[in-house]
Amino acid sequence: MSTETERRYDPEAIEPRWQAVWERERTWEVGNDAEAGTEKSYVLEMLPYPSGEPHMGHLKNYAIGDAVAHFHRRTGRRVLHPMGYDAFGLPAENHAIRTGELPRDSTAASIAAFQRQLRRWGVSIDWSREFGTHEPRYYRWTQWLFLQLFERGLAYRNEAAVNWCPKDATVLANEQVIDGRCERCGTEVEIKQLEQWFFRITDYADALIDGLDDIAWPEHVKTMQRNWIGRSTGAEVTFECPELGTEYPVFTTRPDTLFGATFFVMAPEHPDVLRLATGTPHEAAVQDYVAHVAREGHEERGDADRAKTGVPLGRSVVNPVNGERIPMFVADYVLMDYGTGAIMAVPGHDQRDFDFATAFDLPVRRVIEGGEELPYTGDGPLTDSDPRFDGLGNREALEAIVAWLDDQGRGHPSINYRLRDWLLSRQRYWGCPIPIVHCDACGLVPVPEDQLPVELPDVTDYTPQGRSPLAAAEAWVTTTCPRCGAHARRETDTMDTFVDSSWYFLRYCDAGNDEAAWDPEVLRRWAPVDQYIGGVEHAILHLMYSRFVVKALRDIGLLDFDEPFARLFTQGMITRDGAKMSKSKGNQISPTTYVDRYGADTARCYTMFIGPPDQDVDWRDDDIAGVHRFLGRLWRLAADVAGAGRRPAEAPDAPEGADLELVRKAHWAIDKVTTDMVGRFAFNTAIAAVMELVNEGYKHRDVASPEAQHFAVATAASLIFPFAPHAGADAYDLLTGDRVWEQPWPAADSRFLERDTVQIVVQVNGKVRDRFDAPADAGREAVEAAARERPNVQAHIDGKDVVKVVVVPGRLVNLVVR
RNA sequence: GCGGCUGUGGCGGAAUUGGUAGACGCGCAGGCUUCAGGUGCCUGUGGGCUUCGGCCCGUGGAGGUUCAAGUCCUCUCAGCCGCACCA
C-alpha cells in the first residue's frame, strides 16, 4: 500500500477548507418563513459568559450541541442553531476596576475570542441571529419584558431583609447565596433591610413544580428544582396569648401532633418579641438575646448541630386543641422568613424541639405510638390526645384535626414554600438599566415603550460604594416624569444578569426584529427549544428563572407555550487530576493547545468519546492521541479507497464472503449510531461503533471488493460527520465527490442486520461450557439436541440427570443437571 | 439529617427488556514495514491454575429471588453532588 505513506491526514489543511465553504455559502443559516411539511428542531447550547478565552467545557458543550444539530438536519429536520453572549455581569466589571479596562472593551475582546474559536471548531451556527445581551438592540427588549411584568404586578419594589455581599457591594438573590456566602466572590453575606426590586416568582411556585412533569429533563435536575421550591403541605393553626390578647398563627406540617405541643417559640426577628417580654422579669434577657442574634453570621446560625439557645418570654399561649397554656420562648432556631416566624414545639416528635426541651428542661410528651425512644418522627396511631382521635392513624388524624380546627375558625390547611421572590436589582454598573423613573408625585413610573432602550451611560468610576455607580451620572439620572412632566430621577440599579439570560432563547427566533421582541407567528414556528444543552451548575438559577419568565409571558398572553426547554441535557464537567479546572489551581487546559496539535475534530470527538457526556470525566493527554489516530485511520482508508475512483456510496448488490462481512458491519454501525443518537446521548458508544467499522475496513482491505470497501468507508465518513464534521466531509468528498451534510442520514437495511447463523451458548447449571453456530431459524428441539452433542457439554452432563432445559432461541441453552 | 448520583481489568469506559462480563480507546508486550521520530500495519493482553482438552475465581461488601444476576430485592460500605435548625 504505497499510497499510505504519501497521504497524510492533515487537519490543518482540511478544517479551514471546509469552514470556508460553510462560511461562504452560509450553510447553517435558516430563514423564518414557514416551510410546510418540514419538522422544525431548535437545538441550543447555553450561551457563554464572555470572560477571557473559551475553555474545554465550552468545546464540549458546543461539540455535543453540534452533533445533535447535524443529526437533526440529516434526519430531515429544519434546524435552528444560534449563538450569542451573556455579556453583562460582575466579572467584567471587577476586571475593569482591577485593570482600568472598560467593561465594554474587555467584553468585546472576549466575544471576539469566542467568535474566532467557535468558527475554528467548525460549529454549525446560524451567525445571522447572533447578539450579545449588552447590546442596546437586545436589552431594549429586556427592559420591555421588565415593564410587561411590572404592569401586571409581577415586578415590584419592596423593603425586605435581603442578602448583601460586602465585597461586591450589591444585593444578591437567594439563589446566589451558597452556604451563606456570595457565589461570585465567596464573601460571607450580610442580611440588610433594604428596598429592592423583586419578581413575583413565588406566585408560580406550584406551576413551576407541576410543569416539571411535562418536560424531558434529567430526574436529578427536576429534583433539585422541587427541593429548591420546597413545597410543604400542612396547616396554619392559631395560638392566642391571653395576657396581651394577641393571636399568633403557626405553620406546621404535623397538626397530628398538636396535642403534644409543650411550648411555643418565636424567631428573634419576630416584631412582637420585645413587646411580649416588656414588663416581665425576662425583658432585659430578651433584649440581649435579640441583639446577640442580630450580630450572628449566616453560617453560625445555620448550623443544625450546635446547642440550642433561647430565652423565655415570660408569657404563654393557649393550645387551641386542648386549652392548655404553654410557655413562650424566643430562640434562633426559628426563622422569621419561613412560615409565620413562630412555631408550636412538639419535643416528643421533632428532633429540634426535643433538643431545645432537653436544654431547657421542658416536658416531653408522646402522642404518637411507635419507635422505642423519643423523639419519634415516624407514623403510628395517636395516643394521649383526645378520645375522638386516639387510636386513629396519624395521617388520618391529621386530616380530622385540621377539619375540626377549620370548623372552629382556629386553623386551616396551608401550604408553605421555601422559594422566595427573585431579587433582581443590583447596585452595579455593568448591567441592564431598570426602565423606571422615580417621581415625587407619581411614584414609580415606567419609561414609555417608545423611549426604550434606556441606554447605559458611560461612567468613569465603577467602584462599588453601596449604591449603583450609575447614581454618579447626574445628567443621566436627572429626567422628567413621563406621566406628569415634573422633575424626576431615574432608577439607578441595574438588573441581575439572569434576567438577560431568562429570555434570550426567544429573541434568537426573531433576532432582527426592530418592531417587537418577536413576531408571535415566527416564534410559533421555532419555540420552544427542543433540545437544550448545558452544565448542571444552572440547574436552579437560570433554568428556573427561564421557566418562570416563560410562564409569566404565557399568562400575559405573549406566548402560547409555558415551558421553554422541552428536553434538557446536562453535560458533565471535564476535570484535571480529578479537580475542577481553575486559574487558581493552575490546572487549566486550553482548547487551543489541542486544536493546534490535533485539529478541532479530534478535540471535539475526544470530549465525547472520553466517557458518557453527562458524567464528569478526567482529561487525559494519552487518550486524545488515540482519537486522533482513529480519525487518521478513517481518513487514510478513505483516501486509499478513493484511489480507485469517485462514485456514489452504494452497497454491492449481493455481497458474499468478506464483502458481506463488511457490508453487514456498515449496517450494524448505522443502526448502532442511530439508536445511540435518538434514544440517548450515547456519543461515546456511537463513536466506538464507527471505530469498529473502520477496524473492519482495515481487516478486509486486501480481500474485499473495491465496491464493498467504498461503501463501508463512505458509511464511516457519513456516520462520523456529526462528531468530526471536517474529517467526515473531507473523507466523504474524496470517495463520492458529494457533500455529506446534504445527504440524508444513512438507513440500516434490516436484511444485513440479521444473520443466518447465530452463536448459541451452552450452559450447564448456569455456567458456560461451550458455544456453537446454529442456523438462526433452528427450532428449540434442534438447538437443544445440538447442544447436548457438544463434547464439553457431554463431559459435564455425563452420568447426571438433566432435570430442566431452558432454551432461549438465538441465544443460549441452559441444561440443569443433578 | 433529607434528597439524588456513582462504585466493573493497570486506566477511561461497554454490556437497550435478567441470557457469552470487559465492546471501543489508552497503557503494556511481541512482530512486520530500510521505519527517525509526538510514525504506520498486524497479533496478544481480567486474575490464578493447566496434562493446553480445559478448570477455578471475578462487576465495592453480605445475604436473597431465579435455570440464569453487573442488571431485580434487602441490608451494608465508600466517594461525589444538591438542600439543610424550612417547623
Q: In this structure, which amino acid lies at residue A144?
A: W
- A687 pLDDT exceeds 60? yes
CA–C1' A776–B74 (A): 40
User: Cell 486524545 belongs to which residue?
Assistant: A624
CA–C1' A615–B13 (A): 11
CA–C1' A686–B5 (A): 24
Query: What are A433-475's pLDDT values in tens digits?
Result: 999 999 999 999 999 999 999 999 988 887 777 788 899 899 9
Give the model's pLDDT for residue A409.
94
Which conformational region is residue A765 in: left (phi greater than 0), alpha (psi within -120 to 50 degrees), or beta? left
Report residue A648's pLDDT band, with 50, 70 and 90 as the boundaries: confident
Nucleotide nearest to A633 (CA to C1'): B40
Give me A593's grid cell. 493547545
Give the model's pLDDT for residue A576.
81
Q: Are A790 and A770 in contact (CB under 8 A)?
A: yes
Distance of CA A283 to the CA centre of its chain: 50
Give the model's pLDDT for residue A379.
86
Nucleotide nearest to A183 (CA to C1'): B82
Complex ipTM > 0.90: yes
Partners of residue A182 on adjacent β-strands: A177
Give Cβ neighbours of residue A813 (< 8 Å, ≥ 6 apart): A760, A761, A762, A763, A783, A784, A787, A805, A806, A807
Nucleotide nearest to A343 (CA to C1'): B87
- A4 pLDDT exceeds 60? no
- A747 vs A351: CA distance, rounded Å: 62
Q: Are A566 and A528 in contact (CB under 8 A)?
A: yes
Q: What is the DSSP string of A134-152?
A: TSHHHHHHHHHHHHHHHHT
- The predicted model gives A548-553 an average pLDDT of 97
Nucleotides of B under 7 A from a protein CB: 3-5, 11-16, 19-21, 23-27, 35, 38-43, 53-56, 67-69, 80-87
Residue nearest to nucleotide B15 (CA to C1'): A685
Nucleotide nearest to A671 (CA to C1'): B16
CA distances from residue A231 to A202, A304, A403, A434 in whole angstroms, order as listed: 11, 21, 21, 31
Q: What is the DSSP string of A91-126?
A: HHHHHHHHH---HHHHHHHHHHHHHHHHHHTT----
Helix, strand, coil in percent for chain A, rounding step 5: 40, 20, 40
Give me A390's grid cell. 386516639
Alpha carbons within 13 A on the beta-carbon side of A272: 17
Pairing of strands A177-178, A767-775: unpaired
CA–C1' A615–B8 (A): 16
From the number of C-beta atoms within 10 Å of its C-beta (0-12, 13-18, 19+), residue A560 rates as exposed
Residue nearest to nucleotide B26 (CA to C1'): A623
Q: In this structure, which amino acid lies at residue A614?
A: D
- The predicted model gives A600-614 an average pLDDT of 94
Nucleotide nearest to A811 (CA to C1'): B19
CA–C1' A368–B61 (A): 37
CA–C1' A701–B21 (A): 31
Nucleotide nearest to A682 (CA to C1'): B14
CA–C1' A702–B70 (A): 39
- A511 vs A138: CA distance, rounded Å: 8
Give the H or E element holding residue A640. Answer: helix A621-642
- The predicted model gives A211-228 an average pLDDT of 89
- A178 vs A27: CA distance, rounded Å: 44
- A1 pLDDT exceeds 80? no
- A194 pLDDT exceeds 50? yes
How confident is the prediction for chain A on average, in pLDDT?
Answer: 91
Neighbour tally for A275: CB within 10 Å = 13
- A103 vs A428: CA distance, rounded Å: 12
CA–C1' A556–B78 (A): 51
Give the model's pLDDT for residue A299.
67
- A767 vs A277: CA distance, rounded Å: 78
Nucleotide nearest to A687 (CA to C1'): B24
Report residue A5's pLDDT band, with 50, 70 and 90 as the boundaries: very low
Distance of CA A145 to the CA centre of its chain: 23
CA–C1' A17–B73 (A): 58
Which conformational region is residue A582 in: left (phi greater than 0), alpha (psi within -120 to 50 degrees), or beta? beta
Query: What are A701-738's pLDDT values in tens digits?
Result: 888 999 999 999 999 999 999 999 999 999 999 999 99
- A420 vs A204: CA distance, rounded Å: 11
CA–C1' A766–B73 (A): 21
Report residue A410's pLDDT band, with 50, 70 and 90 as the boundaries: very high
Give Cβ neighbours of residue A703 (< 8 Å, ≥ 6 apart): A657, A658
Give the H or E element holding residue A158. Answer: strand A155-165
Q: Are A495 and A425 in contact (CB under 8 A)?
A: yes
Neighbour tally for A571: CB within 10 Å = 25
Residue nearest to nucleotide B80 (CA to C1'): A616
CA–C1' A354–B86 (A): 17
Give the model's pLDDT for residue A340.
93
- A583 pLDDT exceeds 80? no
> A36-40, A597-601, A716-720: which range is least confident on average?
A36-40
Give the model's pLDDT for residue A584.
67
CA–C1' A760–B4 (A): 41
3-state secondary structure of A533: strand
Nucleotide nearest to A810 (CA to C1'): B19
Give the model's pLDDT for residue A304.
72
Nucleotide nearest to A253 (CA to C1'): B87
In 3D, which of A424, A420, A423 has the Cα closest to residue A142? A424
For A201, phi and psi rounded to 5 degrees?
Answer: -70, -25
CA–C1' A678–B44 (A): 36
Output the CA angle A320-A321-A326, nearest 5 degrees.
60
Nucleotide nearest to A606 (CA to C1'): B25
Neighbour tally for A13: CB within 10 Å = 12
CA–C1' A631–B7 (A): 32
Nucleotide nearest to A300 (CA to C1'): B85
